[in-house]
A and B are shown apart, each in its own frame.
Chain A
Amino acid sequence: MTPKAAIRAEGERLLQAFVQAGAVPVEAEILQPAGTLLDLYGEDIRARAYVTADPVRGEMMLRPDFTVPVVQAHMAHGAEPARYAYLGEVFRKQMRGSGRTSEYLQVGYEVFDRATPEAADAEVFALFRDLLTGLNLRPVTGDIGILMAAVRGLETSDSRKAALLRHVWRPVRFKALLDRFAGRAPVPAGRLALLQRLKAGTPMALIEEAGTFVGLRSPEEIAERAEALVADAETPPIKATEAALLYDLLSLEAPASHALSHLRGITPMLPAIGPAVDRFATRLAALAARGVDVATLAFEASHGRTALEYYDGFVFSFLKDGMPPVASGGRYDALTAVLGAGAFIPAVGGVIRPGLVARLKGAI
């Protein structure tokens, strides 16, 4: 077999396994409207996805993943609960000289189930583990829901919490904001000068003084943010003890059962994470019931926090040194709310790269 045929055969095998697990096979268009993807991922996706112009349909993208079209199809006419499987090419631009391929097969499995989300998390993870048995991969798990719960529970202004939550997937910006809100980093000189100026008059008077008004952003919007800035400058820093807990959480890496004890230990000091930690415990029990050894399973609280992701709960990867993740997935409840125009259903799923599996098996 040529490599491509061998990879497809591996993909078909995995797809059949997903179907046997109860999934309905679905197809998705290769050409996806760019607008939806850009709204979800922002401009960053242009660096990763191939954009093409259609004179009639406008800007289109070569499918960078299946999740969005599968969720859209489900939100439009799916019954609950539902399990879907798919197999097909995805297209991603790669860095020069990375040696990574820009067109490859993905085979995936998605579960939409309202009743028992943690059981669904465990179902997906255990299914992937079974299908990847013998390849000597390193599974890593995480839970972005705990981090988000911790941010929501901070004793600080709603605007600061919103700013942190908005950047949960951008670790550098998140850290910079947290450092500033916690008083660990000095207020930038530019901001101090700005605050000085804003104190010199009412926002509307300052806008008037600044000269000719141009642009769509209205004086009211500008004034509103100027007032918010002044209010923020008077907001006391996040308490050192609270901030320390959040920094601790960001860097938490331990076997899953140890991580649970650790999180149980800090919950009295950060009560807001209680429900998320309970869900974590429920998930670990569900994983253990499926034969996953949670005493050795790697857990990293910051796993999955990269741009171009949308996971907001359980996340997992199956890794091999020197390769991109062989498989990865997670929970993306918020995405279904965005794509469902208000409708919402808990969803979890993941993808495997048959090309990497075939390589690990020595088939290519």
Chain B
Amino acid sequence: MIRVGVPSKGRLMQDCFDWFGARGVVMRRTGSDREYSGVVEGVEGVVPVLLSAGEIPRELAAGRIHLGVTGSDLVREQLGEDEVAEIAKLGFGQADLVIAVPHVWIDVETVDDLDAAAAGFRKAHGHRLRIATKYHRLVRDFLQTQGVADYQLVDSQGATEGTVKNGTAEAIADITSSGETLRANHLRILSDGLIHCSEAVLWASRVAEWTAEDRAAFAGLASKLGVAAQPF
């Protein structure tokens, strides 16, 4: 049986079910509203596993699910290319991982400015300029590639936009779709501060065990979904 990790609730679950449904693979939850179990109709040898979207990368990496739907931001942050293969972009759940600074920083427009501001900030305050984020790897890779110095990442797992006002960070790197929450918190996106364009993606685990039966079931599913990728 191929185990497919799908988000267990909300808009993401519905969009996911709709995407599969439009391709003749009907997924739905079974039992009561509160019970996390589901079925797949229209294709053989596939079973859905309802999971929190945030846990799907970990389950893919552990090989406990064969396929999984989750944001590319989470997978790129947590996994390597030898662990998962991208099967299809699903066209929903779009959001950008961006760097934002206080709107009152009239002298900072680009990553280059941020780097220079960090140098001055460290001199004035005795510690490195703090950037709050939960995407440590993506943000650090981005800033390292750009050659930014004198910053530090501080962990923020939620309400990241508030960290600047609360005095725990000078700037943030977070996911945004409309930018409204950023503006409401007096922050502005750097003009070249786009780190990653995220969207929902169907991933395959390279770690999971793919038996002959699983491979046959995947071929059936892939032809229904109209995807060509081979994860094994």
The answer to whether B40 has its CB under 8 Å from any CB of chain A is: no
Q: Are A38 and B152 in contact (CB under 8 A)?
A: yes
Once A43-B151, A221-B120 are accepted as A-B contacts, the answer to whether A214 and B140 lie under 8 Å apart by CB is no
Q: Is the CB of A210 within 8 A of B121?
A: no
Between B102, B128, B151, B152, the greatest number of chain A beta carbons within 10 A of the residue's beta carbon is seen for B102
Instruction: List chain B residues, Cβ under 8 A from A172.
Output: 145-147
Question: How many residues in B have their beta carbons less than 8 Å from beta carbons of A?
Answer: 47
- Decide if A127 is an interface residue (CB 8 Å cutoff): no
B145-184: contact bitstring with A at CB < 8 Å (1 yes, 0 no)?
1111111110000000000110100100000000000000
Q: Which of B110, B116, B140, B191 contacts A46 (CB 8 A)?
A: B140
Check A217–B103 contact: CB distance below 8 A.
no
Determine if B109 and A47 form an interchain contact, defined as CB atoms under 8 angstroms apart: no
Whether B192 is near chain A, meaning CB under 8 Å from some CB there, is: yes
Does residue A42 face the partner (Cβ distance < 8 Å to B)?
yes
Q: Is the CB of B103 within 8 A of A210?
A: yes
Interface CB pairs A-B, < 8 A, 7:
A166-B149, A173-B148, A211-B103, A213-B104, A215-B104, A222-B106, A307-B144
The 9 closest A-B pairs by CB, nearest first: A173-B147, A170-B147, A226-B107, A96-B80, A190-B191, A194-B109, A190-B110, A225-B107, A190-B109
* Residue pair B125, A214 in contact (C-beta under 8 Å): no
What A residues does B119 contact at CB under 8 A? 163, 166
- Chain A residues, CB < 8 A from B106: 194, 197-198, 203, 206-207, 210, 222, 226
B124 at the interface (CB under 8 A from A): yes
Quick one: which of A162-213 are within 8 Å of B by CB?
163, 166-167, 170, 172-174, 176, 188-191, 193-194, 197-198, 203, 206-207, 210-213
A229 at the interface (CB under 8 A from B): yes
Distance from A202 Cβ to chain B, minimum over Cβ atoms (Å): 11
Assembly CA distance A215 to B165 (angstroms):
6
Q: How far is it, in angstroms, between the C-alpha of A9 and the C-alpha of B56 when the chains are bound?
A: 46
Q: In the complex, how many angstroms separate the beta carbon of A217 from the nearest chain B beta carbon? A: 6
- Residue of A191, A221, A226 most packed against chain B (CB within 10 A): A221
Judge whether B151 and A214 touch: CB under 8 Å.
Answer: no
- The reply to whether the CB of A224 lies closer than 8 angstroms to some CB of chain B is yes
B110 and A191 contact, CB distance less than 8 A: yes
